[in-house]
Amino acid sequence: MLYSEEKIKAALGDHRDTVKIIIDDVTASTNDKGKAIAASGESKNTLILAYRQHKGKGRMGRSFFSPEGGIYMSLVIPKTGLDPEDIPLITPAAAVAVCRAIETLTPAEPKIKWVNDIFCNGGKAAGILTETVFSSEDFFSVVGIGINLIPPKGGFPAELNGIASSVYGEGEEIPQDIMSVLAGTVTRELLDLTVTIPERGFSEEYRRRSFVIGKDARVIKNGIPTEAHIVDIDKNCRLGVIYRDGSEEYLLCGEISLRF
């Protein structure tokens, strides 16, 4: 499975001329490369793709397992035009973009686990890490997306057993250009969704694609887990929870665990 710049551009549609594409065989982290590009003042949207990462980063300081067979991409968006308080909505927008692309192009039925995980085939098949680089007048968003496309050779590491999954299962037929078409489609959808953030154009879709409402969870804040019941996702993609003591909270960012 190889990337083709031509196929990526075709999938970018109207955005084909506004996105610079960089394809690396291996890099430490496409997000780190994206942050360096942002810091250099690049004025064009830039999509960085790698076949493998040797220092792939997840949220909360975790690593992201990035062997061959996955899509590791970061989209650098200079001058999003967003208000700073809207920055946290970029990750939910990316989650919707990933779901739309997977649902349209593959047999999988993606679902969102608030806030940034995409589940397919019973486990986490994709994750999103959005980082922000501030410049004097504006800020750059670096939206990093890792998609486990096929089961890794040799399987997932033991610590991901029962947690990680992939978009395609063992033995499923993989379309030849799927890496390029998925990466280009996710990018196109994300660029389209980003401009709708101020009017919360996709929150209803984010809510509909989420599978956590009505479930019991542990809410992890500052490393401390608290048991809660999930009751809502609002128009700002905040998670509404009720704790055991009856108190309620809407969370803008953070982490939940559904495994007890």
By the criterion CB under 6 A, which residues form the site for ligand BTN?
Answer: 29-31, 53, 56-59, 62, 64, 72-74, 116, 127-129, 144-146
Q: Are 230 and 113 in contact (CB under 8 A)?
A: no
Compute the distance between CA of residue 21 and CA of residue 208 in angstroms, rounded to an integer.
32
Q: In this complex, which beta carbon is closest to ligand BTN, that of residue 63 or of residue 247?
A: 63
What is the distance of C-alpha 220 from the center of its chain? 20
Residue at shortest CB range from ligand BTN:
127
* Beta strands 19-27 and 45-53, pairing class: parallel
Cβ neighbourhood burial of 210 (10 Å; 0-12, 13-18, 19+):
buried
- From the CB of 236, what's the least distance to ligand BTN, in Å? 21
- From the CB of 33, what's the least distance to ligand BTN, in Å? 8
Q: In this complex, which beta carbon is closest to ligand BTN, that of residue 163 or of residue 243?
A: 163
Compute the distance between CA of residue 251 and CA of residue 240 in angstroms, rounded to an integer.
6
Q: In this complex, which beta carbon is closest to ligand BTN, that of residue 177 or of residue 255?
A: 255
Q: In this complex, which beta carbon is closest to ligand BTN, that of residue 123 or of residue 201?
A: 123
Q: In this complex, which beta carbon is closest to ligand BTN, that of residue 66 or of residue 83?
A: 66
- From the CB of 79, what's the least distance to ligand BTN, in Å? 21
- From the CB of 30, what's the least distance to ligand BTN, in Å? 4
Radius of gyration of the chain, Cα coordinates, nearest whole angstrom: 18
28-49: b (≥16 Cβ within 10 Å) or e? ebbbbbbbebbeeeeeebbbbb
Measured CA distances, 28 to 6, 22, 67, 129, 186 (Å) = 25, 14, 12, 15, 22
- From the CB of 242, what's the least distance to ligand BTN, in Å? 26
Q: Which of 79, 17, 20, 78 is nearest to 49 (CA)?
A: 20
- From the CB of 10, what's the least distance to ligand BTN, in Å? 22
Q: In this complex, which beta carbon is closest to ligand BTN, that of residue 53 or of residue 194?
A: 53
8-state DSSP, 155:
-
- From the CB of 62, what's the least distance to ligand BTN, in Å? 6
Q: In this complex, which beta carbon is closest to ligand BTN, that of residue 40 or of residue 136?
A: 40
The residues pairing with 52 across neighbouring beta strands, listed in sequence order, are 26
